[in-house]
A and B are shown apart, each in its own frame.
Chain A
Amino acid sequence: MQAPSMAANDTSLPGPHRLPGDLVMWLFILMELTVFAMMFLLFSWMRSSERELFLAGQQLLHPQAGLINTLALISASGLVAQGVIDNRRQRQRRAALWLFGSLLAASVYVLVKCWEYWQLGSAGYGLSSNHFFMGYFLLTGFHLMHVLLGMVILAYMALKLRRHGYGPDDANGLESGACYWHMVDLVWVLLFPIVYVIR
């Protein structure tokens, strides 16, 4: 019977069976995930209909760039999770540092993605080139918009943490923002194999 009492004393945990963050944010996350799911299924269906075209399109992408972006977003998510934990332990300034670190990791993602777009654009590929590139630009562009919004939220939360705007008992906003960021990470974790890995 020691384990439950240890868990109850662990300040890094959100509390027994408590949904972290705000319910409205979770409903928004579910809505966003549904939209992305439909886009993934449409992309996969188009791919099964035009296999050769999609294979040829994939050859023009840079899988290393996709890998770097995946590692960057997973790292950013890990840093945000650590920030939430440190806030519960009343180490707000340290939590802010983790969030600034996650912004740095997210910036790597944005830079690499812009470089990919520039490379493809220079080679003459765009939204209207074919079905593969239409799917690629729509999926990754829509995701990039979410990353940029997530970065604004992270910056706001980091600055608020520096001013001790959050605390162990006042972390609803921080947890909601963190969950939004993890959703952005989750979507990329699915997008990476669909677009870059599976042939």
Chain B
Amino acid sequence: MNAHTPLLWLTLILLTLISYALTDSSTLPWITGVIVALTAVKGLMIVDGFMELRGVRHWLRRCMNLYCPVLGLLIWLLVSR
């Protein structure tokens, strides 16, 4: 992943622009779900790519990898109720 920092950066930028483009439609629960899912993917990319935790055998990596998906799910459940 480290050799592909520009590609990772570009993907994160594209995912951010997609999320932003969904702003006006985000009153729909499923669109909110898509935005939260995109955010979780971005978080995982930062953790594995920029933070260089990909391939690391440590409990910290599991915690970091769970952070965005679990928090995203909880936030989605809260804002969709």
Q: Are A190's CB and B39's CB within 8 A?
A: yes
**Distance from B66 Cβ to chain A, minimum over Cβ atoms (Å):** 11
Flag if B9 contacts A74 (CB, 8 Å): yes
New contact pairs (12) apart from A19-B60, A182-B50, CB-CB < 8 Å: A20-B52, A23-B60, A26-B60, A33-B67, A37-B71, A48-B78, A74-B12, A78-B50, A81-B49, A189-B42, A190-B71, A192-B39
Given A19-B60, A20-B52, A48-B81, A81 and B67 contact (CB-CB distance below 8 Å): no
- Given A19-B58, A47-B79, A182-B50, are A193 and B13 also a contact pair (CB < 8 Å)? no
Contact, CB under 8 Å: A182 / B78: no
Within 8 Å by CB of B19, from A33, A40, A197, lies A197
* The one of B12, B17, B78 that contacts A41, using a Cβ cutoff of 8 Å: B78
Complex Cα–Cα for A17 and B36 (A): 30
Q: A82 on the interface (CB 8 Å rule)?
A: yes
A-B contacts at CB below 8 angstroms, number: 130
Chain B interfacial positions (CB closer than 8 Å to A): 2-3, 5-6, 8-9, 12-13, 16-17, 19-20, 22-24, 26-27, 32, 35-36, 39, 42-43, 46-47, 49-53, 55-58, 60-61, 63-64, 67-68, 71-72, 74-75, 78-79, 81
Kindly list chain B residues whose C-beta atoms are within 8 Å of the C-beta of A193: 19, 35-36, 39
In the bound complex, CA of A183 to CA of B67 (Å): 12
